[in-house]
Each structure stands twice: as C-alpha cells, then as structure tokens.
Structure 1
Amino acid sequence: MRPTWPFVGRTAEVEAAVAGIGRYGEPGVLLVGEAGVGKSRMLESAALRCRDEGMHVVVTAGAEASNGLPFAAMAALLPERGHRDDPANVFAAAAGTLREAAGDRTCVLVVDDVHHLDDASAALVQHLAATTGARVLAAARTGSTGAPAVVALLRRPFVRVSAVEGLNRATVGALLVSVLGGPVDGLTVDRLWRVTRGNPLFLRHLVEACRASGTLRRAGDVWRWKGQIPVQHRLSDLVASLLGGLTAEEAHALSYVAHAEPVPLDVIETLVDASVLVELEQRSLITVERVHRDLVVRMGHPLYGESVRARSGAERRRDVHRALARAVTHGDTADHARLRAVTWRLAAGDPVPGDQVVGAARDALTRCDAPLAERLARHAGTAAGAGVLARALVAQDKAGEAEELLSRCAAGDGTEPPDELARLAALRALNLCWNLRRPAEAAEVVRSARVSGPPGGGAAAELAVAELALAAFGDGSADLSSADLSCLSAGVRDDVIASVCDPLRAYLDVYLGRPARVADAYAAGRLGGPRVWSAMGAAAAACHVEALALTGRLDEAFAVARSGYRTAVEREASAEASLLAFGVGVCEMWAGRPGRALPRLQEARALLDDHAPFPIQVYVFSEHAVCLAAVGRFAESRRVLEEIGRRLPAASNLRGHLTLAEVRVDAQIEGRRVKAAEAGASLGEHYRSTGWYTKAVEAFYHSVRLRPSRVVAEALHEVAGRCDSELFALFDRHAQAVVGGDVDGLLTVADALEARGYHSLAWEAVSSAAGVADGRGDDRLAARLRIRVRDLAPLCEGYRPPWTANTGPQAALSERERETCELAAGGLTNDAIAERLCLSRRTVANHLQRAYGKLGVRSRDDLPRALGLERPVPPVGLAWLAGNPPPERDRRTWAAGVRPPLGAYPVLSGPPAGL
C-alpha cells in the first residue's frame, strides 16, 4: 500500500476557490466540512496554485491550545515584541509588512481552522482584508460557523461559505485502486464509501485497520473486504473526539439510535425529548429520513454508531434494548412491531415465549432477512424453530450446518406433521444437490419422501420443484423439452423453496430454446420478484440478462446488468452483485470486447463464495476461463477450467457446459481448432438429443465457424428453428452463408449483427466474405470488404477472432497512383490533377481506375475512407506541389514511402523546379 495517499477528487473545488480569490469585488472563500474531509489539503493545494499564478500567499492556522494567546496565529506579520503593546501599532505594522512583501501582487491570507483563531488574530485578519485588499481563503469545521472569528468574517462579508463534502463513490473507488495497487470489487468500494461517507481521513484509517486485521485482502486479482469494522485506536480516538462534549440526555439519545438504527422516529420520541433530537440533527450527529411511509432515525455517520456501540458495556446495551422493547410495545403497533419487540427483548436478555420467537423468525424470513431469522430461530429451542433455522441457513448458503440440522429433523421424534417433513426433505435435497454437490444423495432424499407416503397440501409441489431441479442439473439423461413446469407457478408455500421457482423456470426456458419467452416474462413482471434465498435472486437476475443477450437485445441486457449490479452493491447483496458483474462481462464478450469483460469476470469470481450453488460457479468460472484465453492468457485459462472441473459433480449435465468452454478456449489456440470444431459438433448433437436446444445452437454455431460443415450447418438450422430467438435465426443464416460461400448473405448477417451490437461476430462475417472474394479473384470486392473489416475493428477494441480468414493486406498503390488519389480526395478534378502532375488527362483517369480496383471503391467520394484520411480532406494537393520545396527531412520521408499529412504545406501553382 502506498505510504502517502494521493490528493484526488478536489480539482474542480480547488479551481473554483482559486478563481473566486482572483475575482475582485467578491468575497473570499471559507471551506466548511467535517474533520478529515480534506479541507487542509484543499487549502494547501489552493495556496500552491495561487503562488503559481503570481500571488503573494501567507499561510497560518488557528489552534485550540493557543486560543487565549493574543496574535498567536499571526506571529509572522507582527512587529518587534517591544512594539506590540499598542494594537494600533500592531495592525499598522502588520499591514505595512504585508504590503512590502506583496508589492503589486494580489495578497492571499490562508487560514486553516479559522474557528480557533484568538480574538486579536481574528481582528487582524479582518483589518488586513479591509485595508490592504488581502483576499481570505480559510477553512472551518462543520458546526463551528458560530465561532466569533467565523461570524466576523461572514458578517462583512470577507468570505463566502463553500461546503466541502465527502468524496463520491467513483472517486473513492479510483483512490482505493491507486492506494492498493489493484482492482477492488464494487461491493468493497461501496461499503468503504458508505462507512466513511467519503471522508478521506476516515477511509485511510479504516483501510489500514482492515488490512492489519486481514479482513481486506486479495481474492485472486481483486481486493475484497469481508468482515466487521475492526477497532483501530487512531480511528476510534478520532471519532470519539468528534462525539465529545455531549450532555447526558444527548449521549442517551445517541445510544438508542446506535443500537437500533434505523429506529422509527415515533419509538425514539417516546424515550427522548424532541429538543434533544433537534440539537443532534443540527450537529449532523443523527439524520431523519423517510423509508416508505415511516420516518426513521439513523446515526449521522456510520462510524459514529460503531464508536458508540464499542464504548457501551454489556449492562448498558441490555438497558438500551429493554427500553426500546418497552417503547415499541407501548407505542403504535405497526405490522413489524412484533419483530422489533421480540428482537430487542432477546437482545436485552429478557425471556420471550418460544412461539413468539418462532413467529418473529418467520416474519424476518418472509421479509428476506435470513440473517435476522437465523439469530432469532437460535433462541426458539423448539422443533418449529429448528425448521425456521434450517431454512435461514439454506437461504444464506450455509450448507454444512443446514444439512446437519435437516438430517436431524428427518430423524426426529415423529411429532412433525407429514407436510412439514416433506417440505424439509425437498429443502434438504436442494441443499445437498446445489450447495454440497451431492446429487445422488439428494435424489435418494426425495425418493424416500415419496415412499413414506403421498404428502398433502402444498408439500407435493415442493417435492416436485426439487425433482425438477435434480433433473435439470443431474446426469442429463432426462429429456426436459416437454417437461411440465406448472409446479413452478403455484402451490409452493415454503418461502425458501419458492425462491427457486422463478430462476429455475427462467433457466429451463432459456436453455430449452425459449429465451424470448423469458425476456418477455421479465418485461411483463411475471418473473423477478424478491427472493428469500439470495443466491436464487442472483440466479434470476443472471437469467434475465442471459435471455436478453440470447435474443439479440444486447443493449437491453447491458442496461439490466449494470442497473441490477448497482442496486445489488447498494444492498450489499454479494451473490447478486457477483452474478450481475458476470452478466456485464458476458455482454462484453458478446460485444467482442474481452478486454473490458475481464475485470468484470474477475470481480464476479472474487465476490463468489466457495459455498455458492455449484451451477452458479460453473457459469462464472467457465466464462472467466474463455475470457482469459481471448486475451492470450492461456495457462491461466486452463487452470481455471481445471479448478471448476474438480468442483463439479461427476454426474452433472453441466459437464457439457464445461466442454463448451473448452471448445471456446481451444478455438483461440492455433493447432487445436479442428479438435474444437469436432467437440462442438458432438456436444451440439448431444444437446439436441436431450432437448437443450439453446445449448445445441451455441455448440453447433461455434463448430461451424471453426470448420465450415454442411452437416453441422443443417443441424444448426434444425435446432434454431425450434427456438424463439431472432438471434439464433441470424446464427443459422451466418452458418449457411459460411458453408455456401455466400458473400451477400454474409454481409447481410454482418449488418444485422452490427446493428444489434455483436461486433466481433459482424467482424467475423465480413472477414469471411472478404476471404471468399479473395478466393474467387474478385480483387475489387475483396478490397472493399477489407475496408469494412478495418472500420469494424475499433468496435472490438483490439480483439479479433483468431480463426477468421486472413484477408491479406490491402493491394499496394504505386507512388503515382497514391499521389493522384490524394489529390482527387482533396477535391481536384482530373484536369487540375493532370496540370499539377504534368500528366495527360487520360493518364490521370487510368491511375484512378487502377487505384479504384485495388481499393475496392467506385468513385473519388470513397477515397478518403479507403486511404484512411481524415475528413474533411483539405482541398489542397501534396506538400511537394508547393512553390517552395519541402524540408529535406520530408523529402527523405517521402523517399521512404511515407506521406506527410495532406495539407501540411500550402499549395502554390506549378511544380517545384527540379522535380
């Protein structure tokens, strides 16, 4: 980590302050902000700029320790000690000293911590501003604008207030990357920004504390923070000093807010006088905000709450929670009053009946707060509480503990109702299959539940969901193309298992050939609601992005992924942020920009915990491996594939997805493409036979592009026709055109792909068309297509599918042909060119016609683009047509075959002598 943190994010504010200082007739600038926000470094930067602009700068600062010493801050301007008794002499001497030093330059008085100036120094600053025209640039802490020195400067006014806020999220992210020396995941950036509110000093101390505690460390290539806010003396001392000077009532009020935030305003008002809350809000120690219909109170800064809680003893914490529980019990009862009351009573150590605890835990689970549900359910001590606890553990992917608890529930004392046992069996099967990668045991759990007797009520639906999930991610032997998905839409009462329904339906529809149906369902609001199981919410979001990308709606896919990622980061939803970062990376891969995709996919891996469901891991790891290969990091790509191969259950049909990733990796490597094409065709046939039509399209499409085959193209045509995706129809047309050598078909497909944002596929189609034209000896068409290839290349930002046809270099123009074309591109007629080059008109026409054929253009209007000249081309000839010969260096440049920019020299009539 860098020893000195860079000064960032303040350029505009510093420039505005310096500009304000330079405008006469306007007040100076008073920077006001909280401690550590960067006021002193802004003053330092502004002072340096003022000096650079020729101003005379005097820097001083107030200090709380010297507040009672007259002129303590202005010693540099004071006369000899014997002349300090008379204030008039002091003021006059200081003004004279300042004028003499400044001369005819603008004078700037820079005063840090101006609120700590002693009265005499404050009066002297005012006198100098009034009599010498000195400009004042000062800084004061938030809440100190009532200090006498500040009031006096504002009254005249000698200064105007400029509020200094914390750094924004983007600036904090850039600062962290600079300091840590590598990329930082978005969740960590957002959390550090929220905890510190962009305060650079708080941020520095917190980062140092997190690194020292080991909670901030690299996960692969990406920095990630996991864990609680660590206690660090410098940080805690700094925050404690900001909270000093509180009255007993104010300290009690902060205690209630810190231990319960966000706490409803009506609850806190039963415990604290309103005037105390107003005072704390004015000092920015608390904030009041509206959440839905309720007003809630929070600490003014996250670190304030951490400081208050850290300084509270166990007995004090119990007293606070007991008072809060009484307040919510005796106050207005909202829908979630029971949840708050039970939570606070348990925190106070008071007895709570088991049925109330279980009810509160169920409420928390319904509200998608699985961590709170877990904490509450651990207090229940009943069989019902064990069931809620198991659900909360699965919802957080705490698979090992959940399996231990669920297995004990299955072997219980027989008091549980059959329906509850069946639901718990379904939950256990999902946990065993997805989280613990034990699909065979999961299947046995479901089979045993069926054998033990037909469940009634909704439990049958839950078991059907588990069976469908096992079929989707099991050994792949089941043909799911005609599977009944009705169990995913009704009858499921268990909140955690209900979380599985939408993403499972979306996944099956996407990969069984119906991605457009999924995209439309999300647009209509039929899919995508909140999920108790966070990983399933993440999977649902990823399926939405994938459905859009696979139907040719890449711009929409980008928008959904980016918007969802921002929301997930703000909610601290790690699993969802991971899969939406993955979604952005997938979209970048479709757009042909693996260089942009790689940081997103690295972040997705860093945010993905090892206990996340294995299908999620397979997709993230596989795309990361393909991206690494696309940017030339083949050894790393292989290691990633090997790692995920070890994690994948041997019997899972996701082995096929891993094989497809290997095909895509091998396609990037010379010498492995024939094998990759064969593997892709074989995999496509396997998917076609089992009804996974979308996967079959992808496999066949990769194969036919690597090694054109009529058989594979026909297979792709057949499965694409079974799907509802317009993009797959384009893939089909692309394959048919490649196999048939259809230049027009390839160009039509390229236009459609480019319009939809699939730039590398468009580039590939045009490159193939140029190769076909070359093979036919159609030089003019091939040359024109090479220009199109060159135009598409910037959209891929340096990436080129390595298996595409080598279109060869553009046919070289002779010296005279290029000279003629450049003049024509500049707007000269054939007659004018002939006169300037001392050629006949027919010779000029012949040069242009031969050049048109080599360049693949039809007229002089196309020449600037074909020659790579800037538009508009200046209507002048080459430099060597000027009346004055060019410098010798440019003669040597031309002799080497390199032309200077068109219009580099003025053109006069007639060729230069001697040429």
Structure 2
Amino acid sequence: MSADGAILVIGRGPTPPPRSVRRYLTSADVHIQTVIDQLPFVGRDDELRNATRALTAAEHRGVLLVGEAGVGKSRLAAEVLARISGNGRTVAHCYATVATSAIPFGALASLIPADLPTSNPLRAAAEHLTADRRLVLAVDDAHLLDDASVALLQYLMRHDLARVLCTARPEWPGTLDLVSVPLEALGRDDADALLESLLGGPVDATTRHLVWTNSRGNPLYVKEIVAAGRHSGVLAPSAAGWCWDGPLELSGRLAEVVDHSLDRLAPAHRRALEVVAYGEPLELDLLSSLTTPEVVDDLEAQGLVRVETSRSRAHVRLGHPLYGTRLRATCPTLRARSHRRALADGVEAFGARRGGDLLRVVTWRLDGGSPASPELLARAAQQALTAQDWELAERLCREVVAQGETWRVGLVLGLVLMYRRRCEQAEDVLAATMKESSPESQVQLACIRAFNLFFGLGRLDEALDVLDSTSDVPEEQQHTLLHTGLTFAVEYAPLGLVRVGAAMLMESPGWAATAGQQVLSYCQLFAGRSREALASVAANEQAVLSWRDRFPGLRNGAEGIRTEALLHAGDFDAAESRGRRMLADVLEESRWAVTQAPPRLLLSRLARLRGQAGTAVRMIAESVEYTEAPLMWDLLMLAELAQSLALNGQPERAEEVLARAAYGLHPSWRMAGFAVSLARPWVLAASGRVAEAATAALETAAMTRAHGAHADEIVALHDAARFGADTSGRLAALAMTRQEPLTQAYAAHACARAAHEPRALETTASAFMRCGATLYAAEALAEASRLHRLAGKLREAEQLARQAGVLTARFDRATTPGLVVGSSLASLTPRQLEIARLAVTGLTNSEIAVRLTISKRTVDNHLHTTYAALGLTGRTGLRTIFGLA
C-alpha cells in the first residue's frame, strides 16, 4: 500500500453488509452524505485542520477523534473525508457496534471474506483490503472494536499500508498509534450558529438561551432538541425569528439519546441520580448520606454527575441538564415524593443553616405531600421572590392564603402578581394588605402599591394619593416616599420640576443624597446632556455601590443611564457592548420579563442606526407583549417595533403596531408618549406620506421641547430634517450647548441639507461613521450625490453614489426616503417625488389626490411626466427604482 492510502474510522451507521465492497462503498457514501445533510458543519476549524494534517502528513499513520457521544466526531470525520477524497481514492466504511465487539473481525466483516485462512488471517485480511492500493477505509466507534479488528488495523499501520482516522469515546485506551484530536462540545457562538443553520433562519435570544442551557453545545442534542420542538409545535417561526413557546419535553429520538446514557445504570445508581435531579445543586455530604460514597464516585467517573468545589464546600450537579429533565419525567410518582421527603429530612438533619435551605425544604415538603406552617411558607415565599422565581413564590403565597393568613404574604403576592402582568389583581391584594398591615410596613407597601398603580395601570392620581396617605412617618421613610414620587415625575412632569425634587433629596443625609443624584442623572440624560449624565453617574458610583445591598435598584438604574447616555453621546460600540451584556444577564438569571426592555430597546435602536432593520425587528419583537392592558414598558417596546418595521419596509404592520401602542397609552405616561410620537413619522414615511411625516416630526419636537425632554427633541428635529424640513436653526442652537458628537452631527446634517452643500454633507457622513450611525452616513452621501448630479458634476455624483452603495450593501432591508433618492430620481421635483412615493405604496391616483388635496388630473399629469423622465412605462418600474420590486 502506498503512503497516501488511508483508513477512516467514523460514526456508527446501521447499513447492512452488502455483497460486495463496491456496493458497500456506495451505501457508505450515502450514509456519509446523510450525516452531512442532517447536521450542518459548524466551527471545528482547528480540529478539521489538525485531523486532515495528521491523516495526510508523511510522518503520521492517522488520527484519533476523541469525544463524548454526540459531540460531532462522525460529522467531523465526514468533513475530513470530503477534504481528502478524490485523486483516484476509493472509500470503504465499517461500523463497530456492541453486537460486533464479541466477533473476530466483526466490525470489518462486510469488507473481508468469511473464509480467511486460519494460518495467518491478519495477512490474508490485509491483502484483501489492499487489493485496491488507493483505498480509504472508514471504520466507526473504535472503542467497540473486537481484538482481531484492532490487530488488523495495527498490522496495516505497522507495515505502512494505510493511515487511520478513528472516532472513539474518551474511555477507550487508544491502543493504535494515532495522533489524538480531542473534541469538546461547541462553544456558545458555534452552538447558536448550528441552531440557526438547522432552522434556516434567525432564532430569538430566549430560544437560543434555552437550547444552549439544555444542550451545553452538544451538536446531537441541539439537533434533537430542534426536532422535538418542531414536532411538538413549541418551536415555530415568528416575527422575531424562530421562537420556543412551551415546555421542553423529551420524547422520540431526543428521549432515546438521553436514555442511552441512563439505561445502563444499576438501580442504586439511578436512584442516586434521581435524588440529584430533584435536589441539585446538592451538597456532596448530603448525597453521600442518602446513598453511598461508592455510588457517587461511580456516577462521577461515568460523567453522569460532576462535583464542584467552592469555598471548601463541594456540590454535586448532573453531568448534563437533559438528564434531569428525563429523570424527573420518568420517575414514578411515589418514588419522586420519597426522594423529596428524604432530601428535606437530610437538609434538616444537617441543620438547614445555609442560605436557601428553608426554601428548598419547604418546596420539597410540599412536593412530597408533607404540610408546612404558614410562617415557614411565608418566609420561603420571600426567598423565592428574592430569587425571582415568580411561579414558585406565587404557589407558596397561595398556600398561605388557603390557610387564611393572607396578611403574611400580601406584599410578596402583590409584587409577584405585578411581575406577572396581573396588575389589577396586584392592586386588590396590596390594598387589602395595607389595611391589615403594621405601621412599620406601611411605607414599603405604599411604594410598591403606588409603583403598580402608576407603571402598571397608569393611574397617577391614585398612586400619589397612596404615597400621601403615609406621609406622617420618620424622615428616612419620607425620603423613600419622595424618591418613589420622583420616579413617577421623571415620566410625567416637566424636567425642571423634577430637578427641584432631586435637589431636595441631594441635600438629605444617607442614601437619599445618592438617590437624588441619580434622579438628576436621569434629568440630564432626558435633557440631551449625555456627557453630563455620564459624569454624574461616575461621580455617584461609589455611593451607589455602598447601598447595593439595601437598594439594589440604584445600581441597575445607574447601569441603564450609563448605557443610554453612551448611545446618545455617539459611542455606539461601548453602548452595544454594555447592552448585550445586560441582556445576557437578564436571560441567564430569568429575571422579570420587563427587565429585558432597556437592553432590547437599546440594541434595536443601535441596529436601526446601523441600517440593520431586520435585526432591529427581531431584537424587539422577541419580547413584545400584545396585551389588552399593556404596561408602560410595553408601549416603549411597541413604539420601537413600529419604527423598526417601518424602516424594514412593512408599513401596514408598522401602522397596526403603532395603533396598539397609542391605544394603551395613558396621559401620565408622557415619556412613553414621546416614544410613540417619535415612531409615528416613520410609519407615515413608510407609506409614502413624507410631507405628513415631516409635519408629525415637527409636532413631536414642539411637545418634547415644552417638556424639557431635549434628547427626544433633538431626534425629532433631525428626523424632520431628513424628511425635508429646515430645522437647522434650532438644532444648531441645541448643539452649541452640548458637546456630544452625535448631536453635533445631527445639527451639521440639518444645516448641510438646508444649505444644499454637498461638501458639508460629505463631512457630516464622516462624523456619523465615527459614531457608528451608518444609516445616517449613507443618507448624507446619497443626498450629496444628488446635489452634485443636479449641478452637473457627474463624476463627483457617481463617486459618492458608490460610497453610499458600499454602506447600503451591508444593510438589512433598511429603506428611508433619503436612501431611495438616487441618480434616477434626482431630476424629479419635490411634488413629483412625493406622488411617486405614494404611488409605489399601492394607492390609486384618486386616493393620492384625496391624500394630497389636489385634483386627480394633477396626479395623472405628474405621474405621466415622472414616467417619461425616468424612461418607465408604469408603476412596476417605479417600484423597482424605489427598491420595492
């Protein structure tokens, strides 16, 4: 055999032995192609390179791919085979199984004669295999090879007749002289890429987190989770991409894959693993007391559990999350209850002194059918609330209510109901609890109840009345009430008044000064003074950290202000980095769903400003709630979704979403109302109504200016300028008192458009690019190109058009009026352009005439002139020019 011969050992397949090597090679090729078709090849670049080099280099005899079941050994081997195949090589495959492991040459039986001579079977088998001197032999699961087959492979390698690529489990001693290439599970990014490749499209963040948590990057598990989700219908496409909506149930192939690891367990080992499934993370000493140390050692050696040590304390977790799902699903009811009671007894026997022990014991007692006192249930409910396990917290509270002692859990139950979007029920519970509670708890109850009334139900007057009803309290509690009231005022009151309240708090001692400083930071942010807000947050940082245990909300608020201010200041990269980290933390900790709103809003806006309209839609659509009684944060999400849909070229859907937001808007939610107003011009523009969009943007600018919300005013004025209005004077005045690069670029853009200065527009485009606002840069370049073309400077026009094209080529379906005004449309008058935009939306000439309050004949004439100027015959060509065909 020549040195370029090779033996490839790959994943197991059920193909029966054919009558000839040629037929077997054909069937094996089909098997390999099936592997490739079923599981996309993602990542593994280093492993692929190393394995290919080891298999083909003159100094090696082959390579061993080592990894746990499902990590993709077979898929990688197939990719290696695709790399080295050709050049006259012939490929053959074998699949070692448990059944063949006890039969001499069992794995290779399909490739060698059954009547080998007994004198020297190895040599005879080798001669038969190497009759074709360009053979590539593929064999799978080397850890299941029989001794004779291993000896044959060694013979072939020792005589330099072949090279070998084996796949095997880690427990195989690896008796062959091969270069080892270990395979671990995929990393998070590669696992996400595999998931999206399997589904053929984007997947929402919550689903990506769910699949990652339950697969831990095992490609086979990813594939089977996807198959199970699609089969049951809980995994389906949505506006945000593929979305998982329902429980993860192990059935079919996925259950078989997990059972393959669990079915080999002895009864004692399985029972011990069930205990871990119900109690993880479980103290090692506790588990050992419920089983034996030997059993625990065996489970760890098999990789079914892992032992983690932290601060000299050892805890046991399952080796894979899916083990727990399957064990709990298949454990008989009575045995499951017995496990839970044993866990509760065990923790109590050890003293139940550690944090969270009470919650665990009470939960196990309830699940095990044992009663618990209202006092213990109430304390456990508080712990569940702290852990943000809303479902468990409500369940524990309901147990207390059923025992007639609602007063013990009214505060916790009210919070849980609010977190679960049942704000009317929360108000009923909190109102009843305030009547029965002690004076010491009145302020805390009042603040929570007022928070629910304002942010959940939009009932400002009632919220303020609740705060006023508890005003006769010590000074520190008065500060708490004032801070809660200022939290509302930031949303509904002119910012000048809010500053006065912030100053009052800042003059107070203790935490109140810290809280007052943060309110001031909010005011600076909303007033469009982002750099001042960043400096204020930095100056307050140490004080916020010193109060993080008593007032954790201050730290969250500081992070939100800092991230939002970075966006307004034009530091998009830093804002995105923080936003992604915030969202990842929320998803990882399964916090209140509403806490996803700030990072999602931020990331969606960043995507829009970069021209990634589809990404923006998916980011925000993942967590939008379409409820009859939306919370204030829901309206912010709906407004952002409407604007993203408009940019994405979906005007009808954008209008529907915006209508939902407007319907749910309460008068006291002023800042949320500004968000809805900022979205409205873009919904109009997406329908071709650019003149109306400009008017709407100017109206929004006037409203926000009166409120002191100059950050929103700046955005509204810039939008109006992009729609053709001259807002250069006001934007220039605002930019003079603010040093934020993005605000400066907004003002420069408006001034350059008003002055029809193409060179100034080029400079503005560069300023936008430095911030990361690619969409605005492309618009500025497109407008500069149009102006050069109108002036007859065709070379300059074409150069700028190409620069704009380079930017727009990276966009994801982003469409704005400023982008579609290309060379073909530059010759149209403003009225002709306005009519053309309305025409491509599908309106008839009569409908356009009504919309613009002009005659139908005027519309007919303008369209006729437009078609002639553009060399078109009708609306189909017009839609092509606007990028809508």
Show CA shifts across 1:352-390 (max 9, x none). Answer: 443333233334434555454434434444334422432
Distance 1:286 1:493 in 2: 48
Pairing of 1:461-610 with structure 2 (within 5 A) = 461-474=479-492, 480=497, 482-485=499-502, 508-522=523-537, 525=541, 543-573=561-591, 575-577=594-596, 579-590=598-609, 593-594=610-611, 596-610=612-626
**Per the alignment, do residues 737 and 279 of structure 1 end up closer, same or farther by CA in structure 2, a change over 3 Å counting?**
same
State the match for 1:128 in structure 2.
156
Return the match for 2:186 from 140, 164, 167.
Answer: 167
**Per the alignment, do residues 566 and 425 of structure 1 end up closer, same or farther by CA in structure 2, a change over 3 Å counting?**
closer
Question: What is the CA-CA distance between 1:20 and the residue it aligns to?
Answer: 1.8
State the match for 1:141 in structure 2.
169
Q: Are the aligned partners of 1:419 and 1:457 in contact in 2 as well (CA < 8 Å)?
A: no
The residue identity in structure 2 corresponding to 1:9 is V
State the match for 1:616 in structure 2.
633
Work out whether 1:755 is the aligned partner of 2:770: yes
The residue identity in structure 1 corresponding to 2:701 is G
Work out whether 1:65 is the aligned partner of 2:99: yes
Question: What is the CA-CA distance between 1:561 and the residue it aligns to?
Answer: 2.0
Question: What is the CA-CA distance between 1:565 and the residue it aligns to?
Answer: 3.3
Distance 1:281 1:570 in 2: 26
Pairing of 1:637-652 with structure 2 (within 5 A) = 637-649=654-666, 652=669
Tell me the secondary structure at the aligned position of residue 180 of structure 2: strand
Q: Are the aligned partners of 1:541 and 1:576 in contact in 2 as well (CA < 8 Å)?
A: no
Higher mean C-alpha deviation, range 339-348 or range 525-534: 525-534
Q: Are the aligned partners of 1:601 and 1:620 in contact in 2 as well (CA < 8 Å)?
A: no
Distance 2:91 2:378 in 1: 69
Pairing of 1:713-752 with structure 2 (within 5 A) = 713-720=728-735, 725-739=740-754, 749-752=764-767
State the match for 2:140 in structure 1.
112
Question: What is the CA-CA distance between 1:680 and the residue it aligns to?
Answer: 2.2
Q: Are the aligned partners of 1:419 and 1:459 in contact in 2 as well (CA < 8 Å)?
A: no
Q: Are the aligned partners of 2:701 and 2:716 in contact in 1 as well (CA < 8 Å)?
A: yes
Question: What is the CA-CA distance between 1:195 and the residue it aligns to?
Answer: 0.6
Distance 2:471 2:589 in 1: 42
Question: What is the CA-CA distance between 1:294 and the residue it aligns to?
Answer: 5.0
**Per the alignment, do residues 376 and 291 of structure 1 end up closer, same or farther by CA in structure 2, a change over 3 Å counting?**
farther
Q: Are the aligned partners of 2:613 and 2:645 in contact in 1 as well (CA < 8 Å)?
A: no
Work out whether 1:791 is the aligned partner of 2:800: no
Return the match for 2:347 from 314, 324, 328.
Answer: 328
Work out whether 1:431 is the aligned partner of 2:462: no
Q: Are the aligned partners of 2:417 and 2:426 in contact in 1 as well (CA < 8 Å)?
A: no
Distance 2:330 2:125 in 1: 48
Question: What is the CA-CA distance between 1:184 and the residue it aligns to?
Answer: 0.9
Tell me the secondary structure at the aligned position of residue 648 of structure 1: coil
Distance 1:222 1:530 in 2: 37
Work out whether 1:31 is the aligned partner of 2:81: no
Show CA shifts across 1:847-886 (max 9, x none). Answer: xxxxxxxxxxxxxxxxxxxxxxxxxxxxxxxxxxxxxxxx
Question: What is the CA-CA distance between 1:810 and the residue it aligns to?
Answer: 14
Q: Are the aligned partners of 1:499 and 1:531 in contact in 2 as well (CA < 8 Å)?
A: no
**Per the alignment, do residues 48 and 694 of structure 1 end up closer, same or farther by CA in structure 2, a change over 3 Å counting?**
closer
Show CA shifts across 1:822-845 (max 9, x none). Answer: xxxxxxxxxxxxxxxxxxxxxxxx
Tell me the secondary structure at the aligned position of residue 71 of structure 1: coil
Distance 2:722 2:246 in 1: 47
Question: What is the CA-CA distance between 1:235 and the residue it aligns to?
Answer: 2.4
Which has the greater radius of gyration? 1
Higher mean C-alpha deviation, range 765-774 or range 267-276: 765-774
Work out whether 1:191 is the aligned partner of 2:224: no
Distance 2:410 2:63 in 1: 63
Return the match for 2:421 from 361, 380, 399.
Answer: 399
Question: What is the CA-CA distance between 1:560 and the residue it aligns to?
Answer: 1.6
**Per the alignment, do residues 388 and 505 of structure 1 end up closer, same or farther by CA in structure 2, a change over 3 Å counting?**
farther
Distance 2:274 2:282 in 1: 11
State the match for 1:689 in structure 2.
706
**Per the alignment, do residues 18 and 705 of structure 1 end up closer, same or farther by CA in structure 2, a change over 3 Å counting?**
closer
**Per the alignment, do residues 72 and 323 of structure 1 end up closer, same or farther by CA in structure 2, a change over 3 Å counting?**
same
Distance 2:415 2:580 in 1: 29
Distance 2:417 2:503 in 1: 24
State the match for 2:682 in structure 1.
664
Question: What is the CA-CA distance between 1:301 and the residue it aligns to?
Answer: 0.7
Pairing of 1:32-431 with structure 2 (within 5 A) = 32-79=66-113, 81=115, 84=117, 86=118, 88-100=119-131, 102-103=132-133, 105=134, 107-131=135-159, 133-143=161-171, 145=172, 151=173, 154-155=174-175, 157-290=176-309, 294-331=313-350, 333-381=353-401, 382-394=405-417, 397-400=419-422, 403-411=424-432, 414-431=435-452
Distance 1:498 1:137 in 2: 68
Distance 2:61 2:298 in 1: 30
Identity value in percent: 28
State the match for 2:54 in structure 1.
20
Return the match for 1:8 from 24, 41, 51.
Answer: 41
**Per the alignment, do residues 390 and 509 of structure 1 end up closer, same or farther by CA in structure 2, a change over 3 Å counting?**
farther
Question: What is the CA-CA distance between 1:8 and the residue it aligns to?
Answer: 1.6
**Per the alignment, do residues 34 and 501 of structure 1 end up closer, same or farther by CA in structure 2, a change over 3 Å counting?**
farther
The residue identity in structure 1 corresponding to 2:420 is K
Question: What is the CA-CA distance between 1:192 and the residue it aligns to?
Answer: 0.8
Q: Are the aligned partners of 2:414 and 2:427 in contact in 1 as well (CA < 8 Å)?
A: no
Q: Unmatched 5+ residue regions in structure 1?
A: 146-150, 812-915
State the match for 1:680 in structure 2.
697
Higher mean C-alpha deviation, range 257-266 or range 298-307: 257-266
Distance 1:487 1:142 in 2: 67
Question: What is the CA-CA distance between 1:693 and the residue it aligns to?
Answer: 1.9
The residue identity in structure 2 corresponding to 1:227 is G
Distance 1:439 1:230 in 2: 39
Question: What is the CA-CA distance between 1:299 and the residue it aligns to?
Answer: 0.7
TM-score (norm 1): 0.74
Question: What is the CA-CA distance between 1:298 and the residue it aligns to?
Answer: 1.3
Asked which structure has the greater RCO (Cα within 8 Å, sep 6+), the reply is 2
Question: What is the CA-CA distance between 1:61 and the residue it aligns to?
Answer: 1.8
Tell me the secondary structure at the aligned position of residue 40 of structure 2: coil
Distance 2:509 2:291 in 1: 45
State the match for 2:651 in structure 1.
634
Give the number of aligned pairs: 778
Q: Are the aligned partners of 1:747 and 1:765 in contact in 2 as well (CA < 8 Å)?
A: yes
State the match for 2:472 in structure 1.
454
Question: What is the CA-CA distance between 1:62 and the residue it aligns to?
Answer: 1.9
**Per the alignment, do residues 248 and 380 of structure 1 end up closer, same or farther by CA in structure 2, a change over 3 Å counting?**
same
**Per the alignment, do residues 347 and 56 of structure 1 end up closer, same or farther by CA in structure 2, a change over 3 Å counting?**
same
The residue identity in structure 1 corresponding to 2:180 is V
The residue identity in structure 1 corresponding to 2:704 is Y
Tell me the secondary structure at the aligned position of residue 484 of structure 1: helix
**Per the alignment, do residues 97 and 751 of structure 1 end up closer, same or farther by CA in structure 2, a change over 3 Å counting?**
closer
Question: What is the CA-CA distance between 1:230 and the residue it aligns to?
Answer: 1.0
Show CA shifts across 1:472-508 (max 9, x none). Answer: 445x6886453513698899999xx999999977655
Question: What is the CA-CA distance between 1:534 and the residue it aligns to?
Answer: 12
